[in-house]
Structure 1
Amino acid sequence: MMWRIEVTDDIATCLRLRREVFIDEQGVSEADEIDDLDGQSLHLIAFVDDAPAGTARITIQGDTAKIGRVCVLRPYRGTGLGADLIRKALEVATGKATTAKLGAQVHALRFYERLGFVATGPVFDDAGIDHRDTVRDL
Structure 2
Amino acid sequence: MSLLVQKVNHPEDLEKVFAIRKIVFVEEQNCPPELEWEHEDESVHFLATHNGQPCGACRWRKTDAGYKLERFAVLKEFRGMGVGRALIAEALSDLPENAHYIYLNSQLDAMSLYAKFGFIAEGDQFEEAGIQHFKMVKKI
What is the aligned-residue identity percentage? 30
Conserved 8 A contact 2:121-2:137:
yes
The within-5 A match list for 1:16-31 is 16-31=19-34
Q: Give the alignment's TM-score, normalised by structure 2.
A: 0.92
Q: Which runs of 5+ in 2 are unaligned?
A: none
Residue 12 of structure 1, aligned match among 12, 15, 18:
15
Moved more, 4-13 or 60-69: 60-69
Residue 112 of structure 1, aligned match among 111, 114, 122:
114
Moved more, 105-114 or 57-66: 57-66
Whether 2:93 is the aligned partner of 1:91: answer yes
Find the aligned partners of 2:62 and 2:98 in 1 and give their Cα distance.
7
What's the offset of the Cα at 1:102?
A: 0.5
What's the offset of the Cα at 1:63?
A: 6.6
Find the aligned partners of 1:95 and 1:114 in 2 and give their Cα distance.
20
Q: Give the alignment's TM-score, normalised by structure 1.
A: 0.93
Conserved 8 A contact 1:11-1:38:
no
Aligned position for 2:130: 128
RMSD: 1.4
Q: Which runs of 5+ in 1 are unaligned?
A: none
